[in-house]
Amino acid sequence: MSVSTTYRTCPRSGLQFEAQAEKLIKAHAFVAVVWLAIGGILAIGVVLTRWPSIRWLEADTFYMVLTAHGLDMLIFWIIFFEIAVLHFCSSTLLRCRIATPKIAWLGFLLMVIGSVMNNVAVFRGASSVMMTSYVPMMAEPSFYLGIILFAVGALIGCFVFFGTLVVAKREKTYEGSIPLVTFGAMTAAIIAVFTLLSGAIIIIPAWLMSLGLMNVDPLIYRTVWWALGHSSQQINVATHVSVWYLVAAIALGAKPMSERVSRMAFLLYILFLQLASAHHLLADPGVGTAWKVVNTSYFMYAAVLASMLHGLTVPGAMEVAQRQKGYTKGLFEWLRKAPWGNPTFAGVFISIIGFGFLGGITGVMMGTEQLNLIIHNTIYVPGHFHATVVVGTTLTFMALTYYLIPVLFKREMIAPKLALWQIYLFGFSMYFFCLVMMGAGTLGVSRRHWDMAFEGAALAYEWPGAAYLMMGLVGIGGIIAIFGGIAFVYITVGSLLWGKKLDDGKVSSSWTPVPRAAPTATAQSYGSMGFAAPGTFALAMVFLIAFVLYYFINWKYLSTLWGMS
Amino acid sequence: MSAILPPPERLWYKHPIDRVEGTWITIAVIWCLILFFMMVGWHIWGSQNLSTETYRTRPDQFMAKVQEMVDKYTVRKETEDEIPVVAPPAGADVYLLGRLWNFYPILELEKGKTYRLHLTAMDYNHGFSLQPANINIQLVPGFEHVVTVTPNQSGTYGLVCNEFCGIGHHRMVSRMYVK
């Protein structure tokens, strides 16, 4: 099939962008950053209200702002960016035209309409139901309809991605298997299809319920909703892990240590992540013990295993690449001599460490059937997911954006020094923010709560002073992180507006085939007989010790509780 | 840059595994098994396991049972709203409901005694967050969750709603006494 389009080879990266795909990636990435900016402005309201000595917004405004913050960040910013990543990983990495560009634009349009419709509903004030929108609490019908339209648009984006894989295969733009990064993106897209369909199964009935046409059981809603709510986080994990491999490759020239291990780990995500959503129901009535244990242990731990593997193989691949460059002294010369001045690399490394230590360990802890009793619905939960979603996904996407500004948007980055600062400031303030939030949660402080002093309540409970201190620190950490976010939006949007235009590079009417990776001899040289990444292994041991200690400390804490059976 | 290029081997699943990876996979699998056996083991040897005994219920049905208990065992009333404080005998079935925006009634239990605590929400989802013990249970409308509890420390506990339930959510806080 001959389709008239052009292919631009970027002179700075050697990447080849097909004209339609390039426009689509740009549009999705740009709208994503707009949502990030809106979500970031809303974060100011959330943080300054939960800071006990400030308590800025009134209760009704606070719950409205919190609902919008959750949706705009967790759904709109991330999924818009993810569709951009999908198009990049298919069309750009495989150097082929994008399948059905017109339909892809339709998907984009639906996503824009849906997200705007949903936000309009929230800001009209009658849809402050939080992102989870548990029935029978009801939002306006357009709240649900917005989500449905957005989900249909995202689903179209996923199918365009699959279609593009088919185009590349059929037109033979590459030989052999798809690259690891594309493989990871494919797992993300498969999980996305499952996730969005689960969402349809429950959000459509909720929409009908808001129109007064049917009734939805609250527990069924919670069960199915989490197949959407949790699985959507797994799209993020699969996507940002793919981006980690991508950045390891472009910043250091790193090769995967073993294609087999990395790809099997991605497959584990597809097979096991979805059922892990059961861990959101551990404190619920009506779900059986065996169901909880099977879903959260067998299934979730197979997925945890996958993340533990990626957590080793990404830095391991970086270490091997660095050692080949001659940084072989001791355990950690490779790490000391890593390109810490490159915001893309630094962001990804901060993300890997934070995602593992802060997000991963705590996620397993609170996903344990009995331990969930001391965590459920406390502010520990947002502490955990800010470590996974903000430190893990958002920071990774920020790092990738800095790479894409010259490569995709053809602009010189304004304020590159600030960009480097931004990554460290945002990353480490989020570390701190998550830690103190989890500290407050360990003391029992509730999430989604306007006033921990219980204004107007006759039987108010007095939290310990440490809880107030922790929530004050959450405020400080949050504000610093918001400054980091502002810097990111300034650099990104500023570069697009005022950055020096860079040349397009060679434009051609046909694609050049993707070369095969270097021959297998290099792989064999650090193959099955070596111990190629001792530094990473040492880091992994530190991680394991932290994991084991923290896990058993929480069991100890649990054992002091009231007897329950 | 092979993570963004097709793998050199035709069959990627035959790519060799480094010893670093092999060792880590072994350790990680063992650790995941320990995680699994802890959960199962705690059901056998631990004494903090959330009951799964649940019944379907309706607000009027549940309210009738609450009222019966309140009529029998009320020992005093507290606050301007005259919320009854109920001290049922050890081993009894005790009832507690969450609604917009309070808990009803206030329970007074005895340390070391075991109770069957029936929980539900009357309208929206609510949260049962007992502080400072930090025991957190979801209250879902339409479902009566029977949790067997044995308080192990006396004192005045705070009972906080920690599931968002609307504009009065922050006022939804009560007490539980353990003598």
Residues A14-58: tens digit of each pLDDT: 999 999 999 999 999 999 999 999 999 999 999 999 999 999 999
Q: Nearest-CA neighbor of A556 among B82, B46, B28, B15?
A: B46
Residue ending a domain, among A482, A502, A522, is: A502
Strands B83-86 and B106-109: parallel
Q: Where are the alpha helices (DSSP H) in chain B?
A: 19-45, 59-73
Confidence band (pLDDT; 50, 70, 90) for A528? very low
Stated as kind and residue range, the H or E segment containing B126 is strand B126-131
Report the pLDDT value the prediction gives residue A448, as an integer from 0 to 100. Answer: 96
Stated as kind and residue range, the H or E segment containing A204 is helix A180-210
Whether residue A180 and residue B174 make contact (CB cut-off 8 A), yes or no, is no
Report the pLDDT value the prediction gives residue A518, as an integer from 0 to 100. Answer: 63
Residues A395-442: tens digit of each pLDDT: 999 999 999 999 999 999 999 999 999 999 999 999 999 999 999 999
Would the pLDDT of A2 be above 60?
no
The answer to whether residues A172 and A271 belong to one domain is: no
The answer to whether residues A275 and A404 belong to one domain is: no
pTM of the model as a whole: 0.96
Whether residue A461 and residue B173 make contact (CB cut-off 8 A), yes or no, is yes
Whether residue A258 and residue B18 make contact (CB cut-off 8 A), yes or no, is yes
Q: What is the DSSP string of A388-428?
A: IIIIIIIHHHHHHHHHHHHHTS-BPPS-HHHHHHHHHHHHH
B91, with CB counted inside 10 A (0-12, 13-18, 19+), is: exposed
Q: Where are the alpha helices (DSSP H) in A53-179?
A: 59-70, 78-87, 101-121, 141-170
Whether residue B1 and residue A253 make contact (CB cut-off 8 A), yes or no, is yes
Q: Is there a domain that residue A460 lies in? A: yes
| Min distance B72 CA to chain A CA atoms (Å) | 24
Structure tokens at A242: 């793919």
Whether residue B3 and residue A254 make contact (CB cut-off 8 A), yes or no, is yes
Measured CA angle at A447 (ends A425, A472), to 5 deg: 50
Residues B12-25: tens digit of each pLDDT: 787 778 889 999 99
Q: Is A443 on the interface with B (CB under 8 A)?
A: yes
Please report, for the domain that includes residue B113, its CATH number: 2.60.40.420
The answer to whether residues A120 and A192 belong to one domain is: yes
Would the pLDDT of A517 be above 90?
no
Measured CA angle at A515 (ends A514, A519), to 5 deg: 150
Report the pLDDT value the prediction gives residue A301, as an integer from 0 to 100. Answer: 84
Stretch B90-104: mean pLDDT: 95
Would the pLDDT of B100 be above 70?
yes
The answer to whether residues B130 and B98 belong to one domain is: yes
Domain that holds residue B20: 1-49
Arithmetic mean of pLDDT over chain B:
94
The residue of chain B with its CA nearest to that of A442 is B134
The answer to whether residues B165 and B150 belong to one domain is: yes
Residue ending a domain, among A202, A231, A252, is: A252
- A367: which chain B residues are within 8 Å (Cβ-Cβ)? none
Q: How many domains does chain B have?
A: 2
- A288: which chain B residues are within 8 Å (Cβ-Cβ)? 52
The answer to whether residues A172 and A309 belong to one domain is: no
Q: Is A59 on the interface with B (CB under 8 A)?
A: yes
Structure tokens at A151: 């989900």
| Min distance B151 CA to chain A CA atoms (Å) | 5
- B51: which chain A residues are within 8 Å (Cβ-Cβ)? 564-565
Residue ending a domain, among B25, B49, B73, is: B49
Interface of A with B in 135-154 (CB under 8 A): 136-137
Domain that holds residue A409: 343-502
The answer to whether residues A34 and A117 belong to one domain is: yes
Would the pLDDT of A525 be above 60?
no
- How far apart, in whole angstroms, are the C-alpha atoms of residue A188 and residue A186? 5
The answer to whether residues B83 and B60 belong to one domain is: yes
Report the pLDDT value the prediction gives residue A456, as an integer from 0 to 100. Answer: 92
Q: Nearest-CA neighbor of A304 among A271, A348, A337?
A: A271
Would the pLDDT of B1 be above 80?
no
Residue ending a domain, among A193, A223, A252, is: A252
Residues B29-53: tens digit of each pLDDT: 999 999 999 999 999 999 999 999 9
**Among the partner residues A136, A375, A564, nearest to B148 by beta-carbon distance:** A564
Strand, helix or coil for residue A185: helix
**Among the partner residues A256, A289, A455, nearest to B3 by beta-carbon distance:** A256
The answer to whether residues B38 and B64 belong to one domain is: no
Largest separation between any pair of C-alpha atoms in chain B: 79
Other CB atoms within a 10 A radius of the CB of residue A157 amount to 28
> CB neighbours of B64 closer than 8 A, spacing ≥ 6?
none
Stated as kind and residue range, the H or E segment containing A488 is helix A465-498
Whether residue B123 and residue A219 make contact (CB cut-off 8 A), yes or no, is no
| Min distance B71 CA to chain A CA atoms (Å) | 22
Whether residue B6 and residue A526 make contact (CB cut-off 8 A), yes or no, is no
The answer to whether residues A176 and A259 belong to one domain is: no
- On whether the CB atoms of residues A142 and A211 are closer than 8 A, the answer is no
- Distance in angstroms between the alpha carbons of the first and the last residue of chain B: 68
Structure tokens at A320: 């091997």
- How far apart, in whole angstroms, are the C-alpha atoms of residue B102 and residue B117? 17
